[in-house]
Structure formats: C-alpha cells, structure tokens
Structure 1
Amino acid sequence: MLNLKELPSIKALRTFIAVANNLSFSKAAKELSVTQGAVSKQVSALEQQLGQPLFERHLNGIKLTSIGQQYLPQIAEALEVLQNATASLRQMEQVEDILTVNVTPSFASLWLIPAIHRFTEQYPNIQVSLKTGDGALHDISGENDIVIRCLPLAKHYENATLLCRERLKLVASKALVKSAPIQCYADLGKHVFLPQVTRPQLWEQLKSQHYIEDNIEFYGVGFEHFYMSLEAVKHQQGLALLPDFMVRERMQQEQLVNPLHAEFESHYGYYVMVPNYKLNSRKVYLFTQWLKKAFDEK
C-alpha cells in the first residue's frame, strides 16, 4: 500500500521545478514569491528525503545532477496531471452533464463556435465538449453524443437527420472586387479561383449551373476545408465557394461579397447523427432541438 508520508510535498516539488528551470535559487524565490532561504530549505529537505543530490552547487552557480535531470521531467509531468485533474473538476462544478459534439472543422469554426454561447446561456448546466472530425463515420457508437457531418444527400444514413442542404455562394473579399470589378461572368477571367481539394467538382457545378463556358484559372494552393478557403479569401488570394450559413454574417457586415449573386445547391447536406442508445438522452434532445431551431430561423 502506498505510504503518503514517504512522498515529497507538492510545495517541495514545485520549488525543485522552479530552481531547475531557473538554475538559480534567487530567481526561483522571486518566481514563487518567497525568500531565497525558504527555497534553499525546501530543496535541501527534498534531497534529504530522496537520499540523492539534485543539484551541484558551485561558486559560479548551480546545475542539475544526473539524478536531478532524470527526476525533473517525471515530476513536471506528474504535477501537470494533478493540475489538469483539479482544473477539470473545477470546470465541472455546477454542471449536470457533459455533451460531446463531434463536428467538421469548418462547421465548428465558422458557425458553431460563434453561436454556441446561445445554447450555453439557455442551458448553463450542460457543458458542451466540442471535437472535430471529417468524413463518414461507419460507427457512431463511441464517446460522441452527437456527430455532424457534411455528406452526399442520401436516405440510408443510420440515425441521421438532415439539418440543411448545402447551398454554396461565390465569395470574394470586398477589397479584391473593388480592385477588379466583376459585373458579368466574363469578368471572372480577371480572377483566380481557390481549389477545394476534397471536392474539386464544385467549380464544375458552378460553371454548369451558370452556363460559364470560359476556362477558369486556379490558385496555386488547394485547401481541404472551407475555413481555410475563407482565410485565403480574406487575404485577397482569390474567389471561393463557401456554404451560405457559414458566411452569412460576414456578408451582412460587408466583409465579403457575392459577385453576380452566383450560388447553387450542391448535392451535399449537413446531417446530425446520434447513436441509437442516446436518442432518448435529455442533453442530446435539447441540443438537437436548439440546432434545428437555429437553422429553421436562418
């Protein structure tokens, strides 16, 4: 059985780490807001308890012994584990339940994170844990309570509800269009287009639905996620196709524009998937209803 009396105190270990990081008793004392004598006393007591010297003391300074070098990373990691465990418990105070939501990176960064405060204000006792993932999931019965994915429109997804069909807009920065105006489809030839590496067919869909016959020039860098394309648009690197609900607020603020009002409905949709055994969960029900209402109002 572990004898806690044989373990060094947290205070002694924190002092050891401070001295080791600064290689100075005086600097460690300043960092810890204690006297240099208190620091020296803690380190000496720790060395005595361990039966090993942790520092070599010289006239021109100190340095870790080989034992001290071995001990430092293990103690630092152990204290970090304790700090994380304590912080997690404090965050969970007043929380009834934790809801784990796994979403695509762009859905998270461009829509959910700016909107999530409305859910937490309404349900303060539900703590939402956001994680990101992409692509179809063959098994959603893991640690996630809710999974949101952008998938080809279909009816065979298990325990999935269509949140919305994807509608893409042609998006540019206001400054870029001001420098090279787009008044007709022929003007698109003045610009470059940002490739969507995971769905390269999107630009062909735009050309087909808007009867664009001219070849278009692509930017030299392709982007995997919509949030990456948005950053490139903001830096005037080209035109992008982005989901309307992800850029609506920025367009209302006139940070972005939709040249020629060009948009189309892709063959994709955003699906909310819930494991079968969690369908009756209160936290899952409240979040999915909040999502549905948010998209019904947009």
Structure 2
Amino acid sequence: MSKRLVPSMTALQCFEAAARHLSFTRAAEELHLTQSAVSKQVAQLEDMLRHHLFLRIRRRLQLTPAGSLYLAEVNKILTQVDMSSRYVLTYGEQTEILKVATQPSFGVRWLIPHLKGFGKRHSNIHLDIRNEMEPFALLQGSADVVFFYGQGTWPGATCVELFREEVVPVCAPELLAGRKLAGAEELAELVLLQSTSRPEAWHEWFLEQDLQSVSAYHGPRFDTFYMALSAAQAGCGVALVPRYLAAKELADGSLVVPWNHAMRSAGAHYLAYAEHAAEVPKVRALVEWIHEQLQA
C-alpha cells in the first residue's frame, strides 16, 4: 500500500492561518507559535506536496495556484473538524443522535407536526432530520430511519406502510373567478402546475375520467409538492397534490378543489429502517411513536 499523504493538523492550521493573513508572523501570533515554527510547518507541507504553496515577494506572502487550490480543500477539512468537535461537545455521552431522512413536502406537512412531544418523552434522543429526494440514505448509512413514497420493497430493510394518498386538484379561489366548472375537461383551460417527481400525474388523473388533454404535460414544473402548493396559492395555476398536504389550506379556504375527482396514488408512504436495526432502542422509539400517532 502506498504511503498516505496525511499532514498533521498543526501543519494545516499553520498553512490556513498564513494564507488568510498572507503573513507567517501574524499566523504565528494567532496560533501562539513562533514565526519559525509556522514557516517550518508550511515548508514540510510543501515538501510533501512537491509544490510551492506561497511565493515570497518583498517580505510578503502570495498564494501560488497550488496554494489557492489547497486552501479551498483545507478550509473544508478544518470546518468539518470544528463542526464535529462542537457536535460532540454539545451532545456528549448521554445523548443519542437519530438520523432521519424524509422527502421535503412530507417532512414539512406530515412528519414534523407528528413529532410534537417525541423529544419530551425521549429526552436522550436528538433528531437529526434532513431532506432526501431519493430514499437512498439508508443504504449509504447516512440515516437510521427513512420516510419515503413508493412501493415498499427494499432489500435489507423493514418497510412499514403508513398510509396511501388521495390526489386532488387545488387552486386559489380567485383563479375560478366565481365560476363552477361543468366538467374536468375545463381544467385543461387553466395552467396545470407540474410535479417533477410525478410527471404522469395529470395525464393519469384525466385518463381516470376517460379524458385526454394535450395540456396534461404542459405548465410550470416544481421539484416539490410544497412549491407547487405555494404556486397554486399565489394564483399561478392548478396543482395536483395529495389531499393531506393541502389539508390546512383547504380548511382555511385559501385553496379550493375545482373539480372533486380524487385519484388513488399507486404507491404509499413508508417508514423504513435496516433489518438489523429493528431492536436498536432509538430506532424502536421512533417507530413506536409513529405507530401511536397513526392510531390517535
């Protein structure tokens, strides 16, 4: 195996400080080292990399192209080490981190409201929730629990079905200008807001009613249902979304259903975790909590 090019943390800190100040003297003052110690650390880095990192011009430093390239990478490393250190200081030994991955709209509209009270019951578990457009986080080890929409078949994982969806068209009341639609085909006269994750949705919705529309694929496209809902509220067009996502707006009247045909989605929402993690206390705690929320 070839020797790894891993410099010391001291060398990286000396280089970063010298590059920021463009001065070995000021870097030494900041790091509480001697000027010669900083200079020596940088020289050792240059020997290892076989590139000059600085030009010495009239007692002043200037980064070389190699130095600028290296500085960008070193900044990433030092930032990550700093964040990791603060992470450990914050959470300590008595706290477990439960990494949760969820698709954005589901996370905002369903998951987060259903997590109220979880932290009070499980004060030793801190949730680390992040958005994932694709449910690969579990396989990569970057999440303990994943919430995703799909078919529920995932080798090596336990998938628990949460619920299925009803998809309905929604729009701002003013978009209809007080008129009542005579049929679903009249929706095609309006702007149909498209979803990147479900590009066939409008086509399938019309097809269920024995209709075809050339407008089914036309219209502004959005990465998330949440963005499509916001566009619908702003009067930009009609969004085809899961009813649960629009429940609040439908209740307060800021959105209406212009034609009440609900389409059952082919997939469902699932909670998933690795099979080997079934008895991990923090995973089991969240799974049981979600079960309680669904039964409430």
TM-score, normalised by the number of residues in structure 2 = 0.69
Looking at structure 2, the residues matched to 279 and 184 of structure 1 have their Cα atoms a distance apart, in angstroms, of 50
Alignment-derived partner of residue 104 in structure 1:
103
C-alpha contact 2:191 2:237 (8 A) present in aligned 1:
yes
Give the Cα–Cα distance (whole angstroms) in 1 for the partners of residues 81 and 119 of structure 2: 28
Structure 2 letter corresponding to 1:183: K
Cα separation, 2, equivalents of 1:261 and 1:172: 12
Whether the 8 Å contact between 1:55 and 1:64 is mirrored in structure 2 is yes
Counterpart of 1:33 in structure 2 is: none
> 1:64 is matched by which residue type in structure 2?
Q
Count of matched residue pairs: 274
2:150 is paired with a residue whose SS is strand
| Pairing 1:81-96 to 2, within 5 Å after superposition | 81-93=80-92, 95-96=94-95
Number of the residue aligned with 1:217: 215
How far has the Cα of 1:114 moved from its partner? 5.1
Deviation of the 1:234 alpha carbon: 3.8
Per-residue deviation at 1:269? 1.3
**Counterpart for residue 173 of structure 1:** 172
Q: Post-superposition shift, 1:289?
A: 2.4
**Alignment partners' CA distance in 1, 2:163 and 2:157:** 17
Matched residue, 2:158: 159
Q: Deviations over 1:5-45 (max 9, x none)?
A: 994695x666434414xx9x9xx89xxxxxxx956996845
The alpha-carbon deviation at position 199 of structure 1 amounts to: 3.4
1:34 maps to none
Could you give the per-residue CA deviations for residues 125-172 of structure 1, whole angstroms, max 9, x where no partner exists? 2122334445677x8595543232222489x99632220111112111
Check 1:159–1:239 CA distance in 2 against 1; reply closer, same or farther (3 A cut): same
Instruction: Give the match's secondary structure for 2:291.
Output: helix
Displacement, 1:261? 4.2
Question: Which of the numbers 58, 61, 64 marks the counterpart of 2:62?
Answer: 64
Q: What amino acid is aligned across from residue 217 of structure 1 in structure 2?
A: S
| Separation of aligned partners in 2, 1:184 and 1:95 | 60
SS of aligned partner of 1:128: strand
Q: Is this contact kept in 2: 1:168–1:264, CA < 8 A?
A: yes
1:290 counterpart letter in structure 2: W
Structure 2 distance, partners of 1:118, 1:69, is 48
Match of 2:180 among 158, 183, 191: 183
Q: Is the 8 A contact 1:103 1:147 kept in 2?
A: yes
CA contact (8 A) 1:146 1:284 kept: yes
Give the Cα–Cα distance (whole angstroms) in 2 for the partners of residues 75 and 169 of structure 1. 50
Specify the alignment match of 2:21 in structure 1: 19
- Aligned-partner Cα distance in 1 for 2:168–2:205: 9
Distance in 2 (CA, whole Å) between partners of 1:272 and 1:46 is 54
Cα-to-partner distance string for 1:23-75 (whole Å, 9 max, x where unaligned): 9x9xx89xxxxxxx95699684555444759574659xx55154865764464
Residues 293 and 214 of structure 1: is their aligned pair in 2 closer, same or farther, counting only changes over 3 Å?
Answer: same
- What is the rounded CA distance, in whole Å, between the counterparts of 2:37 and 2:93 in structure 1? 38
Distance 1:185 1:257 in 2: 16
Describe the shift of the 1:200–1:85 C-alpha distance in structure 2 as closer, same or farther (beyond 3 A).
Answer: closer
**Aligned counterparts of 1:199 and 1:40: Cα–Cα separation in 2:** 54
In 2, the alpha carbon distance for the partners of 1:264 and 1:51 equals 65
Deviation string 1:163-214 (CA, Å, 9 cap, x unpaired) is: 011111211134534xx345124452441212335434433443355x4747
What SS is found at the alignment partner of 1:274?
strand
Amino acid at match of 2:181: C
**Most deviating of 100-109 and 213-222:** 213-222
Q: Which amino acid aligns with 2:202?
A: W
Quote the Cα distance in structure 1 between the aligned partners of 2:255 and 2:33.
60
Alpha-carbon RMSD: 4.3
* Alpha-carbon distance, 1:107 to partner: 1.8
CA distance, structure 1, for counterparts of residue 201 and residue 291 of structure 2: 26
Amino acid at match of 2:195: Q
Percent identity between matched residues is: 19
Q: Distance in 2 between matches of 1:7 and 1:39?
A: 13
1:47-58 pair list within 5 angstroms: 47-50=38-41, 56=56, 58=58
Cα distance between partner residues in 2 of 1:275 and 1:243: 27
1:196 alignment partner in structure 2: 195
1:283-298 mapped onto 2 (5 Å cutoff): 283-297=282-296
